[in-house]
Structure 1
Amino acid sequence: MSGTSWSYALVTPDALVTQALPHLLAAFRRAGLDPVAAELIRLDAETMLRLYEVPARGRPVRLPPHRAFQLWYDLGPACLTILRHDGADACAAMGRLKGATDPASARPGSIRHAGENIPMNLVHCPDDEPAAIAELHQLVGPRHAEALILQAAWPDDRVRLLTVDTIEASSPLFGGPHALSLPLAVNRLRLRVVQHLAILGVAAQDLLPLLAKARLALLEERDELLGIQTAPARTAAARARNPRTQALLRDAIRTAQDPAAENAVNRLSDVLMGSSEHWTPVQEAIHAADVYLSDTESAVLEQSHYI
């Protein structure tokens, strides 16, 4: 990896809620930090407090109480983004772009200058590459971390397409006319399955082309559903597309050899088709597949079992 370096940016839930993610991805690119892989993940206060502990940072840090962190991380997902830099020390470049912890002290033009307060300051990044490796292992576990680090070293444009270029379409909605649409919630969750498999299964032969087909079908479905005005018509359109969508997803998932993902997409198909009898197995399957599920999406999917 001569002449290049890497880091990661953890775009925090406040940025997703305020719809700042597209602007942050653009800011990374302007600073010469190329997003090569991205995925929505759920954060928890315990994990993030460990990241901010004094031994991990090497300097005193006055942290807000646990409850403040919990309130922040419960707002929504974070977007874990792997960044590749043409030149030495991507972590330093990201640190300069990030700005001071307190938005009141951050220089104009830095990311955190637009933050709300010290915890809700839009982005976290590591101090150096050893910290990046250690933190990724804490955030997503060893197997997932190693897959992301592989993308930093040997980026694949197909993974970029499946993840970074699809992240906005797969992000949960926090308001607007489609936030409570069951077919669109299922569509977003299926896109997250595709993204997750693209990162973890990049070494599987023939997987990425199959995921690309599934992604295209899901984006075509999304475009159609967004143009439909009524919920019954959206549901009918999504159900008409479901057999082909399911077939494409199953082909990819079986190539990836991921039973948890297969169970999740099967359960989502049942919810969409109105044949799911109980909510708990659906919820458990989504979590087992390590796919982010927002509180609103959870409510929409569960509520469909009661009507």
Structure 2
Amino acid sequence: MSGTSWSYALVTPDALVTQALSHLLAAFRTSGLDPVAAALIRLDAETMLRLYEIPPRGRPARLPPHRAFQLWYDLGPACLTILRYDGADACAAMGRLKGATDPALARPGSIRYAGENILMNLVHCPDDEPSAVAELHQLVGPRHAEALIRQATLSDDRVRLLTVDTIEASVPLFGGPHALSLPLAVNRLRLRVVQHLAITGIAVQDLLPLLAKARLALLEERDELIAIQTAPARTAAARARNRRTQALLRDAVRIARAPAAENAVNRLSDVLMGSSGQWGPVLEAIRAADVYLSDTESAVLEQSHYI
């Protein structure tokens, strides 16, 4: 489409922990940067250090040590957001919005003005489109990166609905009355499977309508579970819904020909229903499906095997 460009914003773990994601998505839109796809990913120190190896404008010439990066990514997930811009230079527009690397030097109104320090400054973005392509390949691997770039150049509103419009419902909980709820943890992980398939399986015929049905079922379940006060009643309600939800997810992963995702959704169903044998295969299945799992969620799911 003539006159448009794209970039990405990596909303960093500090922004997820401080519940700033909604504010940042709104800030992108206000600045004309349209979020068209989003995914929760795990950062690692080695990858982030590679992104900062060549210090372009605005970045410190001397980086903090490896341990500082490790502490940063261990806080939680990052939200990788693909942005389309009605103009020639989305990367420049995002650069103006993010502000200086050091929050002490960022202008009021910029995103990083509210940051904590030069690492925990809420968002990272590339300096230009070639950097965006190279960095996405480092962050999520070639297949996932190319699927995201396809969304950047030819967006699909169905993918936006399944990812951007659902991302906050899938974010791990860092506190509150439902942070340790097993059925709600399974619900969030299933939503992440839906989001991953929506991006990587965009070209698969008939997949997105199935994912849309699964998304709706999961959001309806989420609303019901949040309204229930006791853990046994939440578990009973989730189990009552499981057959329909699992059927939708199983159809989706089979159409997508995604055996790793199929194994993950089957394992999650077993955990919810109390029929999972050992924790190790469940953990391996979630990791193989490339779905983010927080430390708290991992503990909740693993504990269910012992109690």
Shorter-chain-normalised TM-score: which range? Answer: over 0.9
How far apart, in 2, do the equivalents of 1:207 and 1:29 lie? Answer: 28
What is the letter of the counterpart of residue 304 of structure 1? S
How far apart, in 2, do the equivalents of 1:222 and 1:58 lie? Answer: 42
Q: SS in structure 2 opposite 1:35?
A: strand
What is the letter of the counterpart of residue 130 of structure 1? P
- Measure how far apart 1:2 and its partner are: 1.2
How far apart, in 2, do the equivalents of 1:13 and 1:243 lie? Answer: 34
What is the letter of the counterpart of residue 208 of structure 1? L
Give runs of ≥4 in structure 1 deviating > 3 Å: 55-60
Contact 1:25 1:35 survives alignment (8 Å): yes
> How high is the TM-score relative to the length of structure 1?
0.98
Alignment of 1:46-57 (within 5 A): 46-54=46-54
Corresponding position of 2:93:
93
* Alignment RMSD: 1.2
The superposition leaves residues 16-53 of structure 1 with CA deviations (integer Å, 9 ceiling, x where unpaired) of 00000000000000000000000000000000000000
Corresponding position of 2:9:
9
Alignment of 1:1-307 (within 5 A): 1-54=1-54, 61-307=61-307
- Measure how far apart 1:294 and its partner are: 0.1
What is the letter of the counterpart of residue 122 of structure 2? L
What is the letter of the counterpart of residue 103 of structure 2? P
- Measure how far apart 1:62 and its partner are: 1.0
How far apart, in 2, do the equivalents of 1:64 and 1:55 lie? Answer: 13
How far apart, in 2, do the equivalents of 1:140 and 1:57 lie? Answer: 24
How far apart, in 2, do the equivalents of 1:237 and 1:91 lie? Answer: 46
Contact 1:54 1:60 survives alignment (8 Å): no
How far apart, in 1, do the equivalents of 2:297 and 2:174 lie? Answer: 10
How far apart, in 2, do the equivalents of 1:188 and 1:54 lie? Answer: 36
- Measure how far apart 1:55 and its partner are: 7.2
The superposition leaves residues 58-108 of structure 1 with CA deviations (integer Å, 9 ceiling, x where unpaired) of 987210000000000000000000000001100000000000000011000
How far apart, in 2, do the equivalents of 1:183 and 1:10 lie? Answer: 29
How far apart, in 1, do the equivalents of 2:161 and 2:62 lie? Answer: 39
- Measure how far apart 1:114 and its partner are: 0.3
Contact 2:16 2:78 survives alignment (8 Å): yes
Contact 2:10 2:80 survives alignment (8 Å): yes
How far apart, in 2, do the equivalents of 1:146 and 1:185 lie? Answer: 29
How far apart, in 2, do the equivalents of 1:196 and 1:142 lie? Answer: 14
How far apart, in 1, do the equivalents of 2:59 and 2:103 lie? Answer: 20
> How high is the TM-score relative to the length of structure 2?
0.98
The superposition leaves residues 158-198 of structure 1 with CA deviations (integer Å, 9 ceiling, x where unpaired) of 00000000000000000000000000000000000000000
CA 1:199/1:235 → structure 2, altered by over 3 Å: closer, same or farther? same
Contact 1:53 1:61 survives alignment (8 Å): no
How far apart, in 2, do the equivalents of 1:166 and 1:58 lie? Answer: 32
Q: SS in structure 2 opposite 1:306?
A: coil
Give me the identity figure in percent: 89
CA 1:297/1:59 → structure 2, altered by over 3 Å: closer, same or farther? closer
How far apart, in 2, do the equivalents of 1:62 and 1:133 lie? Answer: 25
How far apart, in 2, do the equivalents of 1:20 and 1:59 lie? Answer: 22
How far apart, in 2, do the equivalents of 1:304 and 1:30 lie? Answer: 43
How far apart, in 1, do the equivalents of 2:277 and 2:252 lie? Answer: 26
What is the letter of the counterpart of residue 43 of structure 1? L
- Measure how far apart 1:226 and its partner are: 0.4
What is the letter of the counterpart of residue 225 of structure 2? L
Contact 1:6 1:152 survives alignment (8 Å): yes
- Measure how far apart 1:277 and its partner are: 1.5
